[in-house]
């Protein structure tokens, strides 16, 4: 297959297939390093703290939180939306970019999918603990019962959420695991001990890699991608419906569905970058997660960040344009009320800062990208906080206006989920290949640096002798 | 690289497009002279087609810009088609300027907010009398039912042509100023944005930017073809990025200005993106039809099912996305059930129930069910049918957004409306085919051309 | 089971393998199986495999999900226990689209994945014969089923065809 000389290689270091297996599975086979042990210990401790606080909440009730009559949703739902949003990047990379044939996704999709699953797990915790009586959580499912039977309310966006999140979790898990099976088989076949072989055979489901298996594999991947694409849109859409179906100023607005989705992908990419830049460093995967990958992800950050920015402005403008005093007040209050700090924090982190990625130098700077990924994650947390708390804290009756501050319980539950997320990710990175090995191998011939780009061993595109010239065009510095 | 053939814009083509235009114009003129279409209806239909066809052309610029920025290799072989479609942009821009300028110059009443009498809190008796006289005898006042929701009584009286002086006169006072019974507080509040001067300025800015950048992208592409120099590719990238930034803002604003402000009390934050995607699906469908036409006539031999498969996936995917936006907008307004918001949909359901349903059914179900299969996306006949339906029904989508806000009472699509659309189509096709004939259909020096030729999915 | 054997050649490049598959088949040999470490574009066509119908199964599962959701919610909300929620009609179709959509996707994805696992004979604990441990890493295998009765001449023919088409190693294994 011909590859235009102006494309950058996505696999560096003149790899062979055998080397790729060594590089990517090596860390799985090696003994855990001290750094890894230390990291897992820290994150696990954080997670345990969070779970202790969740235990307290369940024991004593959500009176331990800073919620009050006016502000009934705050950090809990903010965290829920934030985590769900982060999960979206995994599905975007593995599904939407698969459909758009973006080869660079193969370097990061495996970790991003894992991240999706762990993020959804963290997200799911919050509505459950917010219920107060978590042992009655099964009430949310429609099942025949002796109370009428009174079914769950199918007109309620909160019930839609139940279906959306559980479907999303299931489908993401399937997608991730189906892709993981062949790579786990590679781990199995490289294993030195019988025990290890046995374990990995169980997890690889006995994969052998026959032509028919691969044919079905590709068909399934494509259909799952086709299903996941509208699914990922629907999930954050339904999360946005939780707000937008109400008539609360600041929540009831039609742009919410696509704007939430764009915001979700935006924050998700930031988290993928945070994780991948660390993974890349620790496992020495610079040849597989190249600057070109980072640049591509940063471009998506500009795109989604700008979509989010346009949505903010649209909301702000329409609030004024509506000439509805409640709409207008909601936005005046956001930008100048007691929570103005969060509004301007959100604007700075999400709208202004990603625009810095218009500079190619910054897009390709690892340090700057890492810094920005954190900034964006903070910004997107602020966004949900702004939407939820600011819209609620001053309702129609002035006497019920209120101000919300989180308690230490809420803060530690939030930090705990971050610890939980990181712990799961670290364990995953130790027991399974963090890069989709089979998929990266399949692009070697069209994206390896010995085949394309300036260091290509032989140019199989004789017509365009001037391809070096393109390089200078695309890389101005 | 083999085929460098140019498209031959024959006299038969020219004649056919001119005939199309003439037939359309005859239908329009018949409508006007028989009174089937009054001035308001004519202007309103002009707006529908101006927005729709300009949109098709503007989205062709978007097609080029987006693919350029995304390093899309496959599209190199087909990019001449959207490039040619951009040639209509300046004509569409003129049409938009004529219609919007028509309101500003008081030749028509499409944009109800442009009536400055409505935003005067106090008026003199003489002004009021003059105003009522004009509206009692003149054309039907626009948007009256709309404001009627807030100022029910006054306006219902106005529509009957009854004078409301009695209530207004009592507060006369010495200054001679009385409360304006037609005063619309909401319009007054919006007047900083919705006023003639600012509106026209914005309109001109969007149009000039689109036409200019569209022209640049086309020019660079031709230069690249003629000189073979690589610098044009990089220049195209720069301008494509500029266009995307411009588009990010102007696409929503054009929809608010040209379409949403026809109902100046109504607002929906999603409206801009909804318009964008509706035009995008239609524009992609036009690209598909043009490619199939060219292929059937022996041009573009290297463009094959693989390229059309990709375009087919686009209209499949974006039709689903359009449906998603349609549903999001409709469902949230239906669910919230706030009268100011539901009025917009109720009006469409009341008078245009069939079209309202058909719009959703055709634009969603047809591409969804038909194009789900791989074979369908690679079959030229199937694609032709689906793309044609999508063009027609996205036009209907715009008809439904514009006509109920401007022509009150049912205005079913008849020979007049079809004629106007055909006349526009004639000009659009003439301009596009003419542009196609100007330069080789295969961009030989595009760095992605070989990828595109070997494209296989 | 006794006597069943497999003769296979290993290749180290997918393009060589692809040509080999075409070459060997053109010479009239019947390939039993080809195993690769990653999906090779065009391999199924070269081997003459039928297109999988897996996606059709997906469509059927999806349609089942749609009907299940719509039918179930309609029955509950209009027949079994109608409740007025916020003045909306009992049959509130727009409000049911989200759940209907989710169940469509859920049924399609789960149903298809299970079908896939079944067709590919994949499950936790299943043990399939592994011809060579490098096949999941960097080698490409083309195998031929033979048995104890297969003549040496026939084996030699296959070996020759494999060698001529670029196999780097050729092995024989008993299948018991």
Q: Are B59 and B280 in contact (CB under 8 A)?
A: yes
CA-based nearest distance C94→chain B, Å: 6
Backbone angles phi, psi at B196, to 5 degrees: -50, -50
Expressed as residue numbers, the domain containing C37 is 5-47+136-174
**Is residue B265 scored above 60 in pLDDT?**
yes
**Is residue B251 scored above 90 in pLDDT?**
yes
- Nearest-angstrom CA–CA distance, B417 and A231: 39
Residue C7, both tokens: 């003769």
Q: Are strands C169-174 and C140-147 parallel, antiparallel or unpaired?
A: unpaired
Count Cα atoms within 13 angstroms, Cβ side, for C111.
19
Would B6 be classed as within a structural domain?
no
Count Cα atoms within 13 angstroms, Cβ side, for B89.
27
- Indicate the number of domains in chain A: 1
Would A453 be classed as within a structural domain?
no
User: Which is nearest to B285 in space by CA: B143, B435, B425?
Assistant: B425
Residue at a domain's end among B189, B205, B225: B189
Q: Which is it for the CA torsion A21, A24, A29, A30, positive or negative?
A: positive
Cross-chain Cβ contact C94/B337 below 8 Å: no
pLDDT tens-place string over residues C77-127: 999 888 888 888 999 999 999 999 999 999 999 999 999 999 999 999 888
Q: What is the mean pLDDT of residues A277-299?
A: 90
Expressed as residue numbers, the domain containing B180 is 112-189
pLDDT tens-place string over residues B126-157: 888 888 887 765 444 444 444 444 443 344 33
The residue that leads in pLDDT, C33 or B106, is C33
Would C11 be classed as within a structural domain?
yes
Q: Are A287 and A107 in contact (CB under 8 A)?
A: no
* Same domain assignment for residues B277 and B210: yes
* Same domain assignment for residues B157 and B33: no
Q: What is the mean pLDDT of residues A418-422?
A: 96
- Nearest-angstrom CA–CA distance, A196 and A395: 60
**Ordered strands of the C33-35 beta sheet:** C33-35, C140-147, C4-11, C169-174
* Same domain assignment for residues C101 and C149: no
Which chains would you list as touching A if contact means 3+ CB atom pairs under 8 Å?
Answer: B, C
Q: What is the mean pLDDT of residues B313-338?
A: 95
User: Which is nearest to B313 in space by CA: B367, B380, B236?
Assistant: B367
Q: Are B208 and B94 in contact (CB under 8 A)?
A: no
Would B308 be classed as within a structural domain?
yes
Would C15 be classed as within a structural domain?
yes
Q: Does B226 touch chain A (CB under 8 A)?
A: no
**Is residue B274 scored above 80 in pLDDT?**
yes
**Selected residues 38-67 of chain C with any CB under 8 Å from a CB in chain B:** 59
* Same domain assignment for residues B299 and B342: yes
* Same domain assignment for residues B85 and B215: yes
* Same domain assignment for residues C67 and C14: no
Position A457 confidence tier, pLDDT thresholds 50, 70, 90: low
Would C109 be classed as within a structural domain?
yes
- Partner residue facing B269 (CB), from A233, A306, A318: A318
Q: What is the mean pLDDT of residues A390-419?
A: 93
* Same domain assignment for residues B48 and B150: no
- Nearest-angstrom CA–CA distance, B426 and A378: 54
User: Which is nearest to A168 in space by CA: A103, A220, A233, A223?
Assistant: A233
Would A266 be classed as within a structural domain?
yes
**Is residue A401 scored above 80 in pLDDT?**
yes
Q: Does A26 touch chain C (CB under 8 A)?
A: no
- Nearest-angstrom CA–CA distance, A335 and A400: 20
Would A238 be classed as within a structural domain?
yes
Per-residue model confidence (pLDDT) at position B4: 52
Residue A21, both tokens: 């297996």
Residue C28, number of CB atoms within 10 A of its CB: 8
Spell out the long-range contacts of A356-359 with Cβ–Cβ below 8 A and sequence spacing 24 or more: A357/A298, A357/A299, A357/A301, A357/A302, A358/A302
Residue A367, number of CB atoms within 10 A of its CB: 9
* Same domain assignment for residues C14 and C63: no
Per-residue model confidence (pLDDT) at position B137: 52
Per-residue model confidence (pLDDT) at position B37: 82
CA distances from A379 to A82, A417, B147, B384 (A): 10, 18, 41, 46
* Same domain assignment for residues C58 and C115: yes
Q: Does B149 touch chain A (CB under 8 A)?
A: no
Would A95 be classed as within a structural domain?
yes
pLDDT tens-place string over residues C124-175: 988 888 888 888 888 999 998 888 788 888 888 888 888 888 888 888 888 7
The SS3 assignment for A47 reads helix
Count Cα atoms within 13 angstroms, Cβ side, for B183.
13
Query: Which one of B147, B150, B255, B269 would you mutate to disrupt binding with A, by most A Cβ within 10 Å of its Cβ?
Result: B269
**Selected residues 198-257 of chain A with any CB under 8 Å from a CB in chain B:** 229-230, 233, 237, 241, 244-247, 252-257
**Most confident region among A150-154, B99-103, B163-167, B399-403 by mean pLDDT:** B399-403
* Same domain assignment for residues C140 and C162: yes
Element (H, E) at A477: none
- Partner residue facing C97 (CB), from B327, B337, B372: B327
User: Which is nearest to B145 in space by CA: B129, B156, B132, B135?
Assistant: B156
CA-based nearest distance A259→chain B, Å: 9
- Indicate the number of domains in chain B: 2
Mean pLDDT across chain B = 87
Position A460 confidence tier, pLDDT thresholds 50, 70, 90: very low
Chain A residues inside the 8 Å CB shell of C61: none
**Is residue B161 scored above 80 in pLDDT?**
no
Per-residue model confidence (pLDDT) at position B147: 42
Residue at a domain's end among B189, B204, B224: B189
Would C72 be classed as within a structural domain?
yes
* Same domain assignment for residues C59 and C111: yes
Per-residue model confidence (pLDDT) at position B140: 45
CA distances from B8 to B83, B194, C11 (A): 16, 47, 52
* Same domain assignment for residues B298 and B411: yes
CA distances from C99 to A81, A199, C91 (A): 19, 38, 14
Would A459 be classed as within a structural domain?
no
pLDDT tens-place string over residues B9-26: 889 999 999 999 999 999
* Same domain assignment for residues B274 and B419: yes
ipTM above 0.90, yes or no: yes
Residue at a domain's end among B146, B163, B189: B189
B&C contacts, CB < 8 Å? 12
Question: What's the N-to-C CA distance of chain B in angstroms?
Answer: 21
* Same domain assignment for residues B132 and B148: yes
Q: Are A160 and C101 in contact (CB under 8 A)?
A: no
Nearest C-alpha in B relative to C51? B374
* Same domain assignment for residues B121 and B201: no
Q: Does B447 touch chain A (CB under 8 A)?
A: yes
* Same domain assignment for residues B162 and B296: no
Would C105 be classed as within a structural domain?
yes
Per-residue model confidence (pLDDT) at position A476: 37
Q: Does B372 touch chain A (CB under 8 A)?
A: no
pLDDT tens-place string over residues B334-362: 999 999 899 999 999 988 999 999 999 99
Would C36 be classed as within a structural domain?
yes
Would B244 be classed as within a structural domain?
yes
Cross-chain Cβ contact C95/B372 below 8 Å: no
Residue A339, both tokens: 């929570």
Q: Does B249 touch chain A (CB under 8 A)?
A: yes
Q: What is the mean pLDDT of residues A230-243?
A: 94
Q: Does C124 touch chain B (CB under 8 A)?
A: no
Per-residue model confidence (pLDDT) at position A445: 82
Interaxial angle between packed helices A408-431 and A34-60, expressed in degrees from 0 to 180 and rounded to the nearest 10: 140
pLDDT tens-place string over residues B278-303: 999 999 999 999 999 999 998 988 89
pLDDT tens-place string over residues A154-200: 999 999 999 999 999 999 999 999 999 999 999 999 998 999 999 99
Q: Are C55 and A223 in contact (CB under 8 A)?
A: yes
Q: Where does B70-169 have alpha helices with state H?
A: 80-85, 89-104, 125-137, 144-148, 152-159, 165-169
- Partner residue facing B330 (CB), from C59, C87, C94: C94
The SS3 assignment for C170 reads strand
pLDDT tens-place string over residues A23-56: 888 888 888 888 889 999 999 999 999 999 999 9
* Same domain assignment for residues C62 and C112: yes
CA-based nearest distance A195→chain C, Å: 13
**Is residue A205 scored above 90 in pLDDT?**
yes
For the domain that residue C149 is a member of, what is the CATH number?
A: 3.30.70
Which string of b and e fits B192-226 if b means at least 16 CB within 10 Å?
ebbbbeebbebbeebbebbbbbbbbbbebbbbbbe
Q: Are B360 and B329 in contact (CB under 8 A)?
A: no
Backbone angles phi, psi at C33, to 5 degrees: -155, 150
* Same domain assignment for residues C39 and C67: no
Chain centroid, CA B398 distance in Å? 7
Would C154 be classed as within a structural domain?
yes
Backbone angles phi, psi at B427, to 5 degrees: -65, -40
Would C130 be classed as within a structural domain?
no
Question: What's the N-to-C CA distance of chain C in angstroms?
Answer: 6
Would B5 be classed as within a structural domain?
no
Cross-chain Cβ contact C15/A215 below 8 Å: no
Would A458 be classed as within a structural domain?
no
Chain A residues inside the 8 Å CB shell of C113: 174, 178, 220, 224
Q: Does A127 touch chain B (CB under 8 A)?
A: no
* Same domain assignment for residues C113 and C61: yes
Query: Which one of B150, B265, B280, B332 would you mutate to disrupt binding with A, by most A Cβ within 10 Å of its Cβ?
Result: B332
How much is the CA Rg of chain B, to the nearest whole Å? Answer: 24
- Indicate the number of domains in chain C: 2
- Partner residue facing A209 (CB), from C54, C121, C135: C135
Residue A405, number of CB atoms within 10 A of its CB: 9
Q: Are B178 and B106 in contact (CB under 8 A)?
A: no
- Partner residue facing C37 (CB), from A171, A216, A441: A441
pTM assigned to the model: 0.92
User: Which is nearest to A316 in space by CA: A343, A338, A354?
Assistant: A343
* Same domain assignment for residues B368 and B443: yes
Q: Are A338 and A394 in contact (CB under 8 A)?
A: no
Would A250 be classed as within a structural domain?
yes
The SS3 assignment for C160 reads helix
CA distances from B97 to A77, B91, B103 (A): 48, 10, 10
CA-based nearest distance C128→chain A, Å: 6
The SS3 assignment for C141 reads strand
* Same domain assignment for residues C58 and C109: yes
* Same domain assignment for residues B103 and B89: yes
Q: Are B253 and A310 in contact (CB under 8 A)?
A: no
Q: Are B427 and B21 in contact (CB under 8 A)?
A: yes
- Nearest-angstrom CA–CA distance, B150 and B187: 11
pLDDT tens-place string over residues A68-85: 999 999 999 999 999 999
Residue B255, both tokens: 């929809």
- Nearest-angstrom CA–CA distance, C161 and C144: 12
- Nearest-angstrom CA–CA distance, A272 and A289: 12
Q: Are A209 and A185 in contact (CB under 8 A)?
A: yes
Q: Does C101 touch chain B (CB under 8 A)?
A: no
């Amino acid at each position: 297959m011909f590859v235009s000389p102006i494309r950058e290689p996505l696999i560096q270091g003149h790899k062979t297939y055998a080397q790729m297996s060594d590089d990517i599975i090596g860390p799985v086979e090696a003994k855990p390093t001290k750094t890894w042990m230390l990291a897992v210990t820290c994150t696990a401790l954080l997670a345990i703290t969070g779970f202790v606080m969740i235990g307290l909440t369940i024991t004593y009730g959500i009176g331990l939180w800073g919620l009050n009559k006016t502000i009934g949703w705050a950090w809990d739902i903010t965290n829920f939306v934030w985590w769900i949003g982060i999960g979206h990047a995994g599905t975007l990379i593995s599904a939407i970019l698969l459909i758009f044939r973006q080869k660079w996704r193969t370097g990061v999709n495996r970790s991003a999918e894992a991240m999706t699953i762990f993020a959804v797990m963290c997200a799911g915790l919050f509505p459950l603990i917010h219920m107060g009586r978590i042992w009655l959580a099964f009430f949310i499912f429609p099942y025949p019962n002796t109370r009428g039977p009174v079914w769950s309310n199918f007109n309620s966006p909160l019930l839609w959420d139940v279906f959306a999140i559980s479907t999303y979790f299931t489908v993401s898990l399937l997608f991730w695991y189906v892709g993981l099976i062949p790579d786990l088989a590679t781990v199995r076949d490289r294993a030195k001990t019988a025990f290890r072989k046995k374990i990995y055979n169980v997890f690889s489901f006995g994969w052998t890699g026959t032509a028919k298996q691969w044919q079905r594999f590709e068909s399934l991947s494509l259909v799952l991608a086709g299903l996941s694409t509208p699914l990922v849109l629907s999930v954050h859409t339904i999360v946005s419906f939780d707000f937008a179906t109400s008539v609360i100023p600041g929540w009831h607005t039609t742009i919410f569905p696509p704007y939430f989705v764009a915001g979700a992908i935006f924050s998700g990419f930031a988290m993928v970058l945070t994780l991948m830049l660390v993974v890349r460093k620790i496992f020495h995967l610079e040849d597989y997660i190249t600057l070109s990958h980072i640049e591509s992800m940063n471009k998506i950050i500009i795109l989604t960040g700008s979509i989010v920015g346009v949505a903010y402005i649209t909301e702000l403008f329409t609030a004024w344009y509506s000439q509805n005093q409640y709409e207008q007040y909601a936005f005046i209050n956001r930008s100048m009320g007691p929570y103005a700090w969060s509004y301007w924090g959100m604007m700075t982190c999400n709208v202004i800062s990603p625009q810095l990625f218009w500079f190619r130098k910054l897009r390709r700077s690892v340090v700057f990208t890492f810094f920005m990924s954190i900034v964006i994650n903070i910004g997107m947390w602020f966004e949900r906080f702004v939407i939820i708390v600011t819209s609620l804290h001053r309702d129609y009756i002035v006497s019920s206006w209120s101000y919300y501050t989180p308690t230490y319980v809420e803060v530690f539950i939030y930090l705990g989920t971050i610890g939980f997320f990181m712990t799961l990710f670290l364990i995953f990175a130790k027991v399974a290949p963090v890069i989709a090995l089979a998929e990266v191998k399949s692009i070697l011939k069209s994206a390896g640096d010995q085949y394309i780009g300036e260091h290509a061993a032989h140019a199989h595109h004789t017509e365009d002798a001037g391809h070096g010239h393109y390089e200078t065009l695309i890389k101005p510095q | 690289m083999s085929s460098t053939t140019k498209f031959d814009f024959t006299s038969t083509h020219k004649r056919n497009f001119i005939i199309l235009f003439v037939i359309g114009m005859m239908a329009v003129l018949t409508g006007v002279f028989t009174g089937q279409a009054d001035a308001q209806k004519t202007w309103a239909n002009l707006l529908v087609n101006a927005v729709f066809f300009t949109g098709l052309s503007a989205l062709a610029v978007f097609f080029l810009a987006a693919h350029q920025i995304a390093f899309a290799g496959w599209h190199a072989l087909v990019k001449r088609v959207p490039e040619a479609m951009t040639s209509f942009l300046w004509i569409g821009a003129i049409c938009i300027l004529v219609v919007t300028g028509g309101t500003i110059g008081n030749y028509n009443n499409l944009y109800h907010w442009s009536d400055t009498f409505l935003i005067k809190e106090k008026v003199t008796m003489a002004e009021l009398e003059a105003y009522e006289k004009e509206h009692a005898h003149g054309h039907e006042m626009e948007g009256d039912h709309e404001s009627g929701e807030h100022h029910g009584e006054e306006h219902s009286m106005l529509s009957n042509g009854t004078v409301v002086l009695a209530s207004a006169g009592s507060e006369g006072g010495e200054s001679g100023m009385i409360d304006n019974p037609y005063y619309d507080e909401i319009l007054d509040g919006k007047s900083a944005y919705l006023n003639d001067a600012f509106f026209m300025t914005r309109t001109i800015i969007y149009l000039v930017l689109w036409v200019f950048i569209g022209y640049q992208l086309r020019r660079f592409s031709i230069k690249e073809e003629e000189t073979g120099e690589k610098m044009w590719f990089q220049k195209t990238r720069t301008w494509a990025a500029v266009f995307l930034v411009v588009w990010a803002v102007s696409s929503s604003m054009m929809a608010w200005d040209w379409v949403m402000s026809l109902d100046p009390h109504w607002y929906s934050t999603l409206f801009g993106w909804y318009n964008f995607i509706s035009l995008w699906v239609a524009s992609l469908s036009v690209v598909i039809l043009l490619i199939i036409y060219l292929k059937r006539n022996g041009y573009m031999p290297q463009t094959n099912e693989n390229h059309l498969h990709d375009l087919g996936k686009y209209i499949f995917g974006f039709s689903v996305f359009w449906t998603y936006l349609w549903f999001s907008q409709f469902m949230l307004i239906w669910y919230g059930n706030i009268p100011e918001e539901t009025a917009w949909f109720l009006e469409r359901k009341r008078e245009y129930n069939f079209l309202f349903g058909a719009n959703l059914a055709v634009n969603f179900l047809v591409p969804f069910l038909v194009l789900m299969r791989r074979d369908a996306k690679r079959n030229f006949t199937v694609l032709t049918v689906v793309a044609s339906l999508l063009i027609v029904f996205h036009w209907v989508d715009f008809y439904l957004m514009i006509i109920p806000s401007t022509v009150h009472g049912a205005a079913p699509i008849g020979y007049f409306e079809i004629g106007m659309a055909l006349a526009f189509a004639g000009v659009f096709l003439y301009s596009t085919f003419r542009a196609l004939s100007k330069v080789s259909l295969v961009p030989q020096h595009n760095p992605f051309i070989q990828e595109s030729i070997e494209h296989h999915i | 089971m006794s006597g069943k054997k497999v003769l296979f050649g290993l290749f180290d490049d997918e393009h060589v393998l692809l040509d080999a598959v075409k070459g060997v088949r053109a010479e009239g040999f019947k390939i039993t199986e080809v195993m690769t470490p990653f999906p090779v574009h065009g391999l199924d066509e070269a081997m003459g495999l039928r297109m999988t119908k897996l996606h059709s199964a997906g469509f059927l599962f999806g349609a089942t999900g749609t009907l299940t959701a719509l039918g179930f919610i309609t029955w509950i909300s209009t027949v079994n226990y109608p409740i007025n929620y916020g003045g909306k009609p009992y049959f509130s179709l727009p409000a049911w689209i989200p759940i209907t959509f989710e169940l469509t996707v859920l049924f399609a994805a789960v149903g298809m994945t299970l079908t896939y696992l079944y067709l590919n004979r994949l499950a936790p604990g299943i043990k399939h014969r592994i011809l060579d441990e490098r096949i999941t890493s960097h080698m490409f295998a083309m195998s031929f089923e033979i048995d104890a009765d297969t003549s040496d001449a026939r084996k030699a023919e296959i070996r020759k065809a494999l060698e001529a088409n670029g196999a780097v190693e050729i092995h024989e294994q008993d299948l018991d």
